[in-house]
Amino acid sequence: MNDGPKYGFDTLQIHAGARPDPATGSRQTPIYQSTAYVFRDAEHAAALFNLQEVGYIYSRLTNPTVAVLQERVATLEGGVGGVCCSSGHAAQIMALFPLMAPGLNVVVSTRLYGGTVTQFSQTIKRFGWEATFVDFDDLDAIKAAIDDNTRAVFCESIANPGGYITDLDAIAAIADAAEIPLIVDNTTATPYLCRPIEHGATLVVHSTTKYLTGNGTVTGGCVVDSGKFDWSANDKFPSLSAPEQAYHGLKFHETFGPLAFTFHGIAIGLRDLGMTMNPQAAHYTLMGIETLSLRMDRHVENATKIAQWLEADDRVDYVTYAGLESSPYYDRVAKICPRGASGLFTFAVKGGYDACVKLVNALEIFSHVANLGDARSLIIHSASTTHRQLTVDQQRAAGAAPEVVRVSIGTEDVNDLIADLDQALSKAVS
């Protein structure tokens, strides 16, 4: 549905990428539970392996169910193509893989999910890559951190766990001046609330596990390519601009143009890293996306009411929700996320670490889980769980201080959620 009339988001979230099954007429995208696909003949097989023809070879690379999801997410984000993979963490590595090499670095925000902080500060060192962490509200610090070996800038549109909103336009201008791509994790916002490509992002990554699926059933990730970056403008990105020996000297950017990154992600990334999304996971996520706009509107509505209630409560020190007028990021909501600030934020409980633990244990409707973006309301004490491996200074920089809990507000009756928080706070600070 990329050609013809320009459809609205509510239409695209149901129809983009999907067509009735040609064999059966099935209206819902089938789960193509197949490892491999029969070639028409030897010539067809050779063309597929030479990247001269698009089609299905082996499900580590391409699968019809996953292909529908890739097209749908790319369409909703306003990109030219997408590559789905096994998790959000896999998507981050997939995004960096064509850009990086030993000795190179990426400049990243300090306000990131704790697992991402660990991945960037520890794990990528095993590839010989480095990450420089910077406060992304300090634009001069970002500029100073970029050097001749920097190959990307990375941030979250709405940062997990604090719900901080990044000034994507300002960050994109810095990345453009340095001739490097901006990679934006749009998991918390989803393309319904924020479209990073419209603010200058080169690549968008998602943990499809979260709001896109929305039901806490499967893990997955996706990398969306804007198709707007000139990979051949300089010699910084040889994986995309220089001859690829595995494909007889083919140059991805020269051959595939705006789709160079997407084709590389499949033909090299999935081929060699093998971080494949399974078709059943793609199916569940496709069903979830069909109601994305409806759910996000309710997440925002509920989160706003609960954040306002918490801010007025004497048992709470502060609330980080960007949808509050008191938030330093409130003005960015209309600019970056005009439909709302999502359903994720933190609040500080008077009584500190111990009070947070008591609060979590006393809740009845909220589920204590290491996830977000579910239709159910979720809570976690990040300092003792997802951000446990970080120092206290790192926890505070990431918005996961010991005295705060993170909530992912679901779509339940908001009065029930407030009542649950009320009784749990009473037990936590008594």
Strands 221-225 and 81-85: antiparallel
Cα separation, 189 vs 291, in Å, equals 15
Query: Residue 370: which region, alpha, beta or left (left: phi > 0; alpha: psi -120 to 50)?
Result: beta
Beta pairing partners, 203: 183, 225
pLDDT of residue 1: 53
Q: What is the mean pLDDT of each run of 10 residues along the chain (430 residues)?
A: 74 95 90 96 94 93 97 98 98 98 97 90 97 97 98 97 95 98 98 98 98 97 98 98 95 97 97 97 98 98 98 97 97 97 97 94 96 96 82 81 95 98 95
pLDDT of residue 384: 86
pLDDT of residue 5: 62
In the structure encoding, which two tokens stand for residue 226, read together?
């804007």
Nearest to 263 by CA among 21, 83, 74: 83
Strands 182-185 and 150-156: parallel
pLDDT of residue 329: 97
- Considering only CA atoms, give the Rg of the chain: 22
Domains of the chain, each with CATH number or no CATH: 17-288 (3.40.640.10), 292-429 (3.90.1150.10)
Cα separation, 260 vs 181, in Å, equals 14
Residues in contact with 32: Cβ distance below 8 Å, sequence separation at least 6, in sequence order: 63, 64, 65, 279
Predicted TM-score (pTM) of this structure: 0.95
